[in-house]
Structure 1
Amino acid sequence: MTQLKRRDLLLWPLAAGLLPPAWAQDAPDPNDWLEGVQDGKALGWVHDRNAEAMALVSGEPDFARRRKETLAALSSSSNIQFVSRQGEHLYNFFRSASRPHGGWRRTTLQEYAKERPSWETLLNVDHLARDEARNIVFTGADVHAASQRALVFLSAGGEDKVELREFDLQQRAFLPQGFRTPTAKQSAAWYGPDELLVATEAGPGSVTTSGYAMELRRWKRGTDLLSAPVVLRGQPDDVQVYPISRRGEGLPPAALLHRRIRFFESEQHLMLGDAAPVRVDLPPDANAWLEGEWLMVSLRNAWTTGGRTYAAGGMLAIPLAQATAPQRDIHVLVEGRDRVKVRRVERVKDGFIVAFTDNLKPQLVFQRREGAGFRAQPLPAPEHGILYVQPDRPTQDNRFWLTTQGPISPQVLQLVDADAPGTPVLAKSQPHFFDASGLVVRQFEARSRDGTMVPYTVVGPATTSGPLPTLLYGYGGFGLTVDLEYQRLPGINWLQYGGVMVLSHIRGGGDFGQAWHQAGRHLQRQAAFDDFIAVAEDLVKRGVTTSRQLGIYGASNGGALVSAVMVQRPELFGAVVSRVPLTDMLGFTRLFAGPSWIDEYGDPARPADRAVLARWSPYQNAMKADAGKPYPPVLFIGNRNDDRVHPAHARKMVAQLRTLGHGNSWLYEEASGGHSGRTDPHIFALREALIYSFLRLQLAR
């Protein structure tokens, strides 16, 4: 969603009189001893819970098969190796069962077009992890093509904290005297071949209460980081500061410096060459970045400027030369409309490629620069699914990389010329990883408590003789979408065993633009829960499944979702899987990155917010529940290496349910992999087998 353990540090609001009296009068948390991530007593308890969970699921007949087939799919050589062009090379990172740490490599377009391209390995992360005797995870690289240097970011086991090392692409080695920073929650970007913009921890007073960098420095090669001038400084209660530099060959240095005050509120400062940063007049909740000679602006809410109002959800382009001027030419690339969601905007030589969805239907448009404005040219797009676009050589031509996929349609990657979209330059296809011949994709709507119609997508058999075991997935937060992507792993682990998969597009998410997010955010959070419950009830009403056969699954904010609805409507579900969840919503701001999410959830230090959070917080409601209250079987999955969502959220929830006598509550805590848990194919495959075997045991009885 940090690196600091702030349980004691964040007692300052109480001393400052900012917390309501009720906080101080709350009963002590009987499970707070589980908040010690590496505490010996806590780890002993976790070890016992892990053993119980594994003993349960390993008895499921197809557990070993699921694990084996998932690992094979993750490691298959037939997977598309997606690339990113920098200069004359295409870069790719891959992992496999035999190479769990993976390798960073590159090739040429001519070579990539072959069925079996030849790759130049730049960094063998397996060898690096072996040589340094630690669990190193490659989390990304920023290539400066002109100088053949790169910034490589490495994590310990998948944590959000990373270290930065400069890499020589020609020598294929780290530079002994190159740019390097110690591990921190940090970000950096090139600002010319011998300078970086770096936001990192740099001594006392340089980190926010959320654990992210508070200072952004301009760091020149050969100088000490701590002596580098600060070009942007935030405040302790901000979320973070970070840079986004301009991409493109042959362009002088330029960057947009962000002071992220709250999760959805920022100040943007434009930095050009050696000039001091200048504040850009933009709505505080707009997203902004640079594309060549353009300032891109994505609107969360309506914006009135220069005598005109631009609708919420719109996508705008402003000439960079006018970004800080009193009068600006503002071009509308996508008009904000109800249920329109802009997915991706990428610059090409003569304009922009825009991918968006209109009521979940994928759309692709080439906004071609003509005279003083742009002319929209629709490009071919599939009827269903999701699109992803990426630029190829934006300063040279109008080609772009296009990925298409749908729930039962594997990924297809094409290099497309917007001037001749019907004849791709190159195409690669992912194979079918499960038999989808008898499956169909259908879309329905459920009526939520307040009358709002909530869409959901059902993937399952075309014809059935009765209700089937069904898995309902949801997220419903932070404006993030539940994409209609290829259901490769659910297909392998659930659909091919006769189950039904359902994707819910509930409020709080961004499936239908900004208004859809706002309707389920903050004090309106219950709307997201009501939507999810309505979808579950509608599935039962339509005869797709029964309550006993209905399982629900969510991760992170989705873990909070399924935990909350389980507590609110336990009789509606046959099983629950909640992965890396938030559950303690009255204490989340003192656990890791929690303070950064106040803008999404509310602040338990404010009485009005606290009252709303208390009504739905899964942990607190479980604490006050009757000992005999029945809950469905539930599996919580945490991660000890997760420095974003504290593993205590899952630990404490299981402990409390067991205190209530709910023996059908289990915990499995991964030891590495970070918040996403995708860093090692072996760990990932075990987890997928664990989840779906648990669900099969509970729902197919």
Structure 2
Amino acid sequence: MREIAPSLLDGILDPAALAWAAEWSDATEHAYAAPELRARIREALDTDDRIAYVSRRGEHLYNFWRDAAHPRGLWRRTTLNSYLGGSPEWDVLLDVDKLALDEDEDWVWKGATVRPLAYDRALVRLSRSGADAVAVREFDLATRNFIDVADGGFVIPEAKTDVSWVDLDTLLVGTDTGEGSLTDSGYPAQVQRWTRAGEREEVFRGERSDVAVGAGVDHTPGFERTIFSRALDFYNARVWVDGVELDLPTDCTPYLHREWLFVLPRTQFSGVGAGQLGVMKLADFLAGSREFRVLVDDATVENLSFTRNFLLVTTLKDVATHITRIELGAWEGRELLDGSSTAHVVATSPLDGDEAWISESSFTSPSTLLLADGQTVEPVRRAPAFFDAAGLETRQHWATSADGTRIPYFITGDFSRGPRPTLVHGYGGFEVSLTPSFSNVRGIGWLEKGHFFVQANLRGGGEFGPEWHSQVVKTNRHKVWEDHRAVLEDVAARGYAEPSQIGVRGGSNGGLLTAGALVQYPELFGAAVVQVPLTDMLRYHTLSAGASWMAEYGDPDDPVERAAIERWSPLHNVRSRSEVAYPPALVTTSTRDDRVHPAHARTFAQALDQAGQPVDYFENTAGGHAGAADNDQIARVESMVFNWLEVHLVH
């Protein structure tokens, strides 16, 4: 029994909490470490044969690359001709490993914003240990050096920062500048204009109750404009263009490209239905017109991407991906991918032309990188498989939830044999769609052993549009677990696995899902992996970024919503083993997770332990909300998780 005062577990870096976490984590890793599996996963993650994904900025294609020799990574670039030649000549801009060593900092790469059109400077984002908070530093692409404050450079201290280039000497910055500068969720509440001369002027402000305030600059020649936004909650926002607020419902998402205004409403608006895509000229909209042209009305819009002259629309039909390229103005479409594989647009560069990079894969086929330019779509790279997928296939089934809703799920494996260990992954929140994708880690750790893998498309996701999500928010949140339960029961009913052979796994909101499953219907599965979870749902809104999620889960300070939350909050529904026996659980988190507070995982693991339930705990000291900051940490955690599942579901 590992006991510590719950209040101490709230202290992210409290010495007593860290010692408690380290002792338990060491014991878990000692029991379930799998060195050979870890080495194989690391090899797959580090291989030079994997795809180097790129994005164009001017004449160059940029890439961030990690391998065994560079675990923190290299930011580098090449030319299109060199990239297409098969053996690119990479120009290394920044070696993050060397930077971390030189500065004695645990730097983790979080991206860079190259100055549009000029492509001479970049705003580099670096995180300590993988947290969401970043330090932003100006980088000179010609000299390959950071520009210090003393030399007139832009440097923004560590915070959850939003920043955009205005011109060489001006930024729009939302960051922590002291009292009143942040929302209750810990994100920027105001935007300042920063100049290289050191001037700082507030140019836009929201409310503390907002989730976040943001700003962006459109640098498209002939269509230059500044855009401000206030995220009122996770699904409602107000948007201003050059100081004029767009007269849109707050649950309608606008996209601006050149002279066009595109809208994706969550509820019907001016003839555009929920989840449909409408378009009209921005000037006509500002003049009072509301006559939108509907471009998509027969599928779920998953993503919009723009090139100079085309719109690429990614849609889902029964969780099958379609990508259509539509010519701007003519509105004639051509389907680039027809649903036979899962695909997403990796990168476009609307300021530089009509080039689009698309990645496609399936549960059993590694990723292929496609280059779409003009009217052609050609394969450019194919990723290797590090496990034998021969004999594996994927089926889609539909389970029936408690209220009669049909819930789809995919199951992948070799169907020539009878019941066997089956891992069920789910999420069910924030309009996040789970689509088929290839994973060497999953293949090495699970599928090649002859096991089944299930991916469940629960309500709360975005697979079938806004209503698929909105049906299960706040006081209806319990329906997510009804959907999950239905999938588990269907898997067993079809003979794929006995309940004792089923494992459930999820992270973040998916960790909430698996923690809730553990305390609600433990008889339906044999093991639960609960990663970077939310569990203390009566005070989640007071921890880290929790206040930003009340549109999803409800407000614990509202009596009606609190009553609903109390019925499913995992931490508050843990029962003793004398009442009901839970299957074993593995709870993991990261000390540096500044999005979902590690206290959620810590207190839940302790509650299970004190209730006499079987539980293992692992807390990575780095990694942020992802739970791991580099390939070695990924291999370390994943090998342990799969070995833990193997022990509890197979032996």
TM norm structure 2 = 0.96
Letter in 1 for 2:553: Y
Q: Give 1:411's aligned residue.
A: 367
Q: Give 2:268's aligned residue.
A: 302
- C-alpha contact 1:411 1:429 (8 A) present in aligned 2: yes
Q: Give 2:414's aligned residue.
A: 461
- C-alpha contact 1:260 1:267 (8 A) present in aligned 2: yes
Q: Give 1:68's aligned residue.
A: 39
Q: Are residues 1:431 and 2:384 paired? A: yes
Q: Give 2:127's aligned residue.
A: 155
Q: Give 1:207's aligned residue.
A: 182
Q: Give 1:32's aligned residue.
A: 7
- 1:219 Cα deviation (Å)? 2.0
Q: Give 1:330's aligned residue.
A: 292
Among 537, 540, 559, the alignment partner of 2:492 is 540
Q: Are residues 1:264 and 2:198 paired? A: no
What does 1:183-582 correspond to in 2, within 5 Å?
183-224=158-199, 228-246=200-218, 248=220, 250-251=221-222, 253-271=224-242, 277-304=243-270, 309-327=271-289, 330-335=292-297, 337=298, 340-370=299-329, 373-392=330-349, 394=350, 397-421=353-377, 424=378, 427-464=380-417, 466-582=418-534
Task: Indicate how the Cα distance of structure 1 residues 223 and 253 shifts in structure 2: closer, same or farther if over 3 A, else same.
Answer: farther
- C-alpha contact 2:57 2:119 (8 A) present in aligned 1: no
- C-alpha contact 1:355 1:389 (8 A) present in aligned 2: no
Consecutive unaligned residues in structure 1, runs of 5 or more: 1-28, 272-276
- 1:397 Cα deviation (Å)? 4.6
Comparing 673-682 and 442-451, the one that deviates more: 673-682
Task: Indicate how the Cα distance of structure 1 residues 657 and 396 shifts in structure 2: closer, same or farther if over 3 A, else same.
Answer: closer
- C-alpha contact 1:580 1:637 (8 A) present in aligned 2: yes
- C-alpha contact 2:620 2:628 (8 A) present in aligned 1: no
- 1:328 Cα deviation (Å)? 5.1
What SS does the aligned partner of 2:600 have? helix
Q: Deviations over 1:351-382 (max 9, x none)?
A: 31212111112212121235xx5122223435
Determine the C-alpha separation between the residues in 1 that align with 2:92 and 2:351: 27
Letter in 1 for 2:111: G
Letter in 2 for 1:314: Q
- 1:433 Cα deviation (Å)? 2.1
Comparing 215-224 and 399-408, the one that deviates more: 215-224
Q: Give 1:672's aligned residue.
A: 622
Q: Give 1:696's aligned residue.
A: 646
Determine the C-alpha separation between the residues in 1 that align with 2:262 and 2:62: 25
Give me the CA root mean square deviation: 1.8
Give the fraction of aligned pairs with identical amino acids, expressed as a percent.
37
Determine the C-alpha separation between the residues in 2 that align with 1:207 and 1:396: 35
- C-alpha contact 1:75 1:95 (8 A) present in aligned 2: yes
- C-alpha contact 2:58 2:352 (8 A) present in aligned 1: no
Q: Are residues 1:598 and 2:550 paired? A: yes
- 1:252 Cα deviation (Å)? 5.5
What SS does the aligned partner of 1:101 have? strand
- 1:627 Cα deviation (Å)? 4.4
Letter in 1 for 2:40: E
Determine the C-alpha separation between the residues in 2 that align with 1:678 and 1:32: 26
Letter in 1 for 2:118: A
Q: Deviations over 1:320-373 (max 9, x none)?
A: 4345332255333322x4xx3222222233331212111112212121235xx5
- C-alpha contact 1:256 1:289 (8 A) present in aligned 2: no
- 1:420 Cα deviation (Å)? 3.4
Determine the C-alpha separation between the residues in 2 that align with 1:349 and 1:647: 43
What SS does the aligned partner of 2:583 have? coil
Determine the C-alpha separation between the residues in 1 that align with 2:339 and 2:465: 20
Determine the C-alpha separation between the residues in 2 that align with 1:495 and 1:502: 11
Determine the C-alpha separation between the residues in 2 that align with 1:614 and 1:584: 10
Determine the C-alpha separation between the residues in 2 that align with 1:481 and 1:66: 29
- 1:153 Cα deviation (Å)? 0.8
- C-alpha contact 1:191 1:253 (8 A) present in aligned 2: no
